[in-house]
A and B are shown apart, each in its own frame.
Chain A
Amino acid sequence: MVRSLLIRGMLVGFVAGLLVFGFAKIFGEPQVDRAIAFETAMDDAKMKADAAKGIHDRPEPELVSRPMQASFGLLTGVMVYATAFGGLFALVFAFANGRATELGPRAVSALLALTGFVAFYMVPNLKYPANPPSVGHPDTITIRTELYFAMMALSIAAMAVAAVLRKRLAPKLGVWEAAIISGAVYIVAVMVVAAILPPINEVPSDFPAVVLWHFRVDSAAMQIIMWMVLGLGFGALTERSFIAKGLYRPRLTPALVWR
Chain B
Amino acid sequence: MKTGAEYTESLRKLKTQIYFQGKKIDNMVDNPYIRPHINSAAATYDMAFDPEYMELGTATSHLTGKKINRFTHIQQSNDDLVKKVKLLRAIGQRTGTCFQRCVGLDAMNAVYSVSYEIDEKYGSKYHERMCDYMKYVQENDFMVVGGMTDPKGDRGLPPHKQADPDVFVHIVEKREDGIVVRGAKAHQTGAANSHEILVMPTVSMKSEDRDFAVSFAVPMDAPGIVLIFGRQTNDERKLGTLDQGNPTYGVVGGEALVIFNDVFVPWERVFMCGETEFAGMLVERFATYHRQNYGTCKVGVVDVLIGACAAIADYNGAGKASHIKDKLVEMVLLSETMHTSSLAAGYEGHPLPAGNYYPHVTYANITKQNITRNHYEICRIAHDITGGFIATLPTEQDLADPELGPMILKYFKGVASVPTENRIKMGRLIENMTGGTALTESMHGAGSPQAQRVVLLRDANLEQRKKLAQRICGIIPQE
A binds B: no
- Which A residues lie at the B interface, using CB under 8 A? none
